[in-house]
Amino acid sequence: MKLLLITAVFIFSGFVHAAELSLEPYHNARILFQSSGETDDYLFALGSYKKIAGSWRLDRQQRLSGNLTRYTVELPEGHSASKGFDFYLDQLQNFNLRELFHCNGRDCGTSNSWANNHFKILQLYGLDQFQQYGAYEVINADAKPFYVALYAVQRGNKRVYLQLDIVHVDRVNEQGIAANPESIIRALDSSGYYVFPDLLTGDAQGVMTINIKPAHLQALVDVLKSRPEWTLAIVGHDYSPVPLAVQQKNSHAYAEQLKTAVQEAGIGADRLVSYGVGGLAPAGKGDRTARVELVKIYRQ
């Protein structure tokens, strides 16, 4: 089966080929536009379009540089915008995916803003109530993530169009690109856990710690402030090739590090509890050597 593969290398036969991020194209969809090349100023939407001082503007955004691959497709007749959106999102979930923002219908703002101001593709101008947008981060082994913008809309003539923009960044944002707090809340409500996005780093002596970026920490603090009734378990995982007791000690240290940072940001200690399970929960490991998860727990 042919795959839609994203990279900075080349395009042929209507498909983009790349290392590490492969997506199957929507069956019988018609590709209207496609392009691939370097960008130093891609506007990555991390929020809705809202009317500010008389004009429609994004309430949250990030500028990215790297290789940008873009696809505009028309779905077959009778296929809905939500079906097209879910088709690509389901595939993205096979990777180490983190939702940064999602909106649906009129909560996204006006379709005109997305079509003409943001993507600058007039075919994407449709009905506000039949639109959906998502912003995602895909972590891969080289530590330079992919950022994915996915937009789907139905026009008044029932035709459905989908935009897929993927940026493989050329450098890692040192401050971090945080998820919208509502996305974190949705993950905790729906699945009961959320993987904290920061990666492990080692010092000259080989001591490993998690690199807590300010934006990610603030998003977590905002979640806890907006949900004062919540208590979270911070669960560390370690998959290094060492005895289980050492894994558990290391993973608990990762959890304690994040717990301390959250407390120092103003969250009470009674709302957080830390655990280290070592390598005993390998599901969801992916290519990570370690991870820290936030798990929603219930008070007695």
- Percent pLDDT > 70 in the chain is 89
Least confident range from 41-50, 126-135, 189-198, 254-263: namely 189-198
Q: What is the mean pLDDT of residues 96-111?
A: 94
Note the pLDDT of residue 247. Answer: 94
Euclidean distance between CA atoms 2 and 161, whole angstroms: 21
Backbone angles phi, psi at 226, to 5 degrees: -80, -15
Burial class (CB in 10 A: 0-12, 13-18, 19+), 300: exposed
Mean pLDDT of 93-119: 94
Domain spans of the chain? 4-169, 193-297
Q: Which CATH number describes the domain made up of 193-297?
A: 3.30.1330.60
Q: What is the model's pLDDT at position 285?
A: 77
pLDDT digits (tens, 9 = 90+) for 118-141: 999 999 999 999 999 999 999 876
Q: What is the CATH number of domain 4-169?
A: 3.40.1000
> Which residue, 281, 259, 261, 255, is CA-closest to 270?
259
Tell me, what's the pLDDT at 13?
Answer: 33
Alpha-carbon distance of 289 to 202, in angstroms, equals: 12
Q: Which of 17-31, 58-72, 142-156, 224-238 has the lowest average pLDDT?
A: 17-31
Q: Please check whether the two domains, 4-169 and 193-297, share a CATH topology.
A: no
Averaged over 20-25, what is the pLDDT? 84
Q: 204-220 pLDDT, tens per residue?
A: 666 777 889 999 999 99
- Most confident of the following: 133-142, 264-273, 286-295: 264-273
Number of other residues whose CB lies within 10 A of the CB of residue 201: 10
Exposed, middle or buried: residue 12 (CB in 10 Å: 0-12, 13-18, 19+)? exposed
Residue 1 has pLDDT above 60, yes or no: no
Mean pLDDT of all residues belonging to the chain: 88
Cα–Cα distance list, 197 to 95, 247, 294 (Å)? 14, 20, 11
